[in-house]
Structure 1
């Protein structure tokens, strides 16, 4: 059980255990998704779902007679994305760098939505309903993958010490900033609550809804069934993808919205910060910068898998600056508190959660 207000900050690496792509893989899948059958002779997209959406949208925007010309605009936008994306550190920085180019922005967001929703469908969180002689073996393999995730350690930290009578307070000291578009955190919390405490899905989803989860760049559909824009985890209809794309935000859009302030408040109020699978990209660090807020952090935990010691030192200093505890931070009105304890496990998310759970749960 958490005894102190703790904010978990999740990057792409935090979803990897559950079958979601890291930055390079996401880039490659987007490039593949936006390929055309023959760039010299056709404007038909190789991916049938993508082609159907863009053909329908082209007719809607330009009319039947002019739709081939509009579809050609999308084909050129797709070519620009495929050519330029490998030179960007992330799809988010790529989109933001070309902000104002409407077709490129829409097509990039549409591709993100498609890739992530397909990853949800293929993740071990999505039940497999198969009619096969080895169906039981397939379900066992799926459960094994699910239990291998670091999320299991998270659920133990959150739920130990609680009973079915205290579940309304299970997330009282937990909040999450999720830089990913997927909803695997919310789905895992719901599934694990159902299994751990023997409650139904409606009750579990309601409890998850009481937990503060902020997605700086939006997400591929609302998680709660009664929320606007709801899409079931692991499933979608083709016509929903355009709406999903509209729910994805760029860095600039986030900074200009009230989401940016919510992120900063969540960071500033935490006694403990836990960075999991985070990539330390400059624009993401900027979103976490608390501005003039006072901060409470006493401890910061972070995964720094495969990072050199010098790079880890840079990360530590950046975190101190975010929290207004750095060497070059403008002074507080009162004497500035000391920098928080910085604890890094050079392994992955599972290693950090397994090796640091006592320190995470102490008062």
Structure 2
């Protein structure tokens, strides 16, 4: 179990080991999704994804030519952008491009969930996770830290000491935790779903939606269309303005005793969102993070940024302010030197970070 308040900050790379798209793969998926052929307003053969395309055509939305132009622009132009987010930022003045692009994100995420190692065929209620596909994932390794020290009758509190800020739109974390709690503690899926629903999981830019409304891998319940679902997400180039979301993010930063970045790219806009003036940490905390394929120079920039965020440690006073019951002042533990506690690993993915630092992250050997 975690012996202190641990904050996990998740980026796209956190889904790599369960076969979720990373980097330009999502852009390529959206390039394919926006290949469309129309004839007299009807979708024809040669269209890549007829189900998705019919969200915008043949359903009385009107303005078919504007949507066709948007599909064509995204299909041809997305190759020259770093991501779909960057592309939509370029074309923020075109409502049709933004609408189609966001709907394509939703469709791509649902298709990716279905193709991931976490997908569970819903045709049989007894189907569950393919354990051999996920046994090396960091998610499984997270459960191996959560479990010890937490008895089955206390399962309601298994997620009490962890918080997740998840910059992804998918529901891999929620879906996995629900199944893992069901299997590890022998509780019903509904009870596991309730426990996960009460966990501290923040999606700064929104998400596809709760699993009971939009099943993992889709399709959506109740006739929801992809463009309707897209209204609940923001790209990272859009400002997160909801006060409750911002408050939750900043409170998580302030209250954390340990911070772990998983598959995070450390984009400047996201770092500013996390560590703005309202989220000044109250104390210096150990920080661990992956930076797979990042150059040494860029990793150093990230590390220096994080070091500058946290307050200086007061090392002048060697003793506690108050003596113990016998009037003796107790020496303080060795001070936490920040330079020794920002660890950014350039050669580790999320799973290897857990392999190497699980005890340090969990605070298994805390000083008193």
Query: Is the TM-score greater than 0.5?
Result: yes
Greater shift, 280-289 or 121-130, is seen at 121-130
Q: How much is the aligned-residue C-alpha RMSD, in angstroms?
A: 2.6
Asked if the contact 1:27–1:85 (Cα under 8 Å) also holds between the matched residues in 2, the reply is yes
Query: 235, 246, 254: which is aligned to 2:218?
Result: 235
Q: Residue 117 and residue 108 in structure 1: after superposition, are their counterparts in 2 closer, same or farther (change >3 A)?
A: same
1:287 equivalent to 2:269? Answer no
- In the TM superposition, what is the alpha-carbon distance from 1:297 to its structure 2 partner? 4.2
1:98 equivalent to 2:91? Answer yes
Any idea what the Cα deviations from partners look like across 1:299-337, whole Å, max 9, x if unmatched?
110001122221110111222345467xxxxxxxxxxx9
Query: 180, 205, 230: which is aligned to 2:193?
Result: 205
1:311 equivalent to 2:279? Answer no
- In the TM superposition, what is the alpha-carbon distance from 1:281 to its structure 2 partner? 1.7
How many Å separate the matches in 1 of 2:140 and 2:102?
31
- In the TM superposition, what is the alpha-carbon distance from 1:140 to its structure 2 partner? 11
Asked if the contact 2:6–2:162 (Cα under 8 Å) also holds between the matched residues in 1, the reply is yes
Any idea what the Cα deviations from partners look like across 1:270-306, whole Å, max 9, x if unmatched?
1111000111222222211231443134111000112
Asked if the contact 1:288–1:322 (Cα under 8 Å) also holds between the matched residues in 2, the reply is no
Q: Residue 53 and residue 140 in structure 1: after superposition, are their counterparts in 2 closer, same or farther (change >3 A)?
A: closer
Query: 71, 74, 79: which is aligned to 2:64?
Result: 71
How many Å separate the matches in 1 of 2:309 and 2:43?
47
TM-score w.r.t. the length of structure 2 is 0.82
Q: Residue 304 and residue 293 in structure 1: after superposition, are their counterparts in 2 closer, same or farther (change >3 A)?
A: closer
Q: Give the SS at the match of 1:301.
A: strand
Tell me how many residue pairs correspond in the alignment.
330
Asked if the contact 2:168–2:203 (Cα under 8 Å) also holds between the matched residues in 1, the reply is yes
Asked if the contact 1:182–1:220 (Cα under 8 Å) also holds between the matched residues in 2, the reply is yes
1:358 equivalent to 2:366? Answer no
Q: As a proportion of its length, which structure holds more helix?
A: 1
Greater shift, 92-101 or 299-308, is seen at 92-101
- In the TM superposition, what is the alpha-carbon distance from 1:85 to its structure 2 partner? 2.2
Q: Residue 13 and residue 94 in structure 1: after superposition, are their counterparts in 2 closer, same or farther (change >3 A)?
A: same
Greater shift, 78-87 or 146-155, is seen at 78-87
Asked if the contact 2:110–2:218 (Cα under 8 Å) also holds between the matched residues in 1, the reply is yes
Match of 2:241 in 1: 256
Q: Give the SS at the match of 2:54.
A: helix
Asked if the contact 1:96–1:251 (Cα under 8 Å) also holds between the matched residues in 2, the reply is no
1:277 equivalent to 2:277? Answer no
Asked if the contact 1:268–1:323 (Cα under 8 Å) also holds between the matched residues in 2, the reply is no
- In the TM superposition, what is the alpha-carbon distance from 1:166 to its structure 2 partner? 1.4
1:31 equivalent to 2:31? Answer yes
TM-score w.r.t. the length of structure 1 is 0.83
Query: 183, 186, 190: which is aligned to 1:195?
Result: 183
Q: Residue 288 and residue 164 in structure 1: after superposition, are their counterparts in 2 closer, same or farther (change >3 A)?
A: same
Look at both structures and tell me which one has the larger radius of gyration over its CA atoms: 2
1:146 equivalent to 2:134? Answer yes
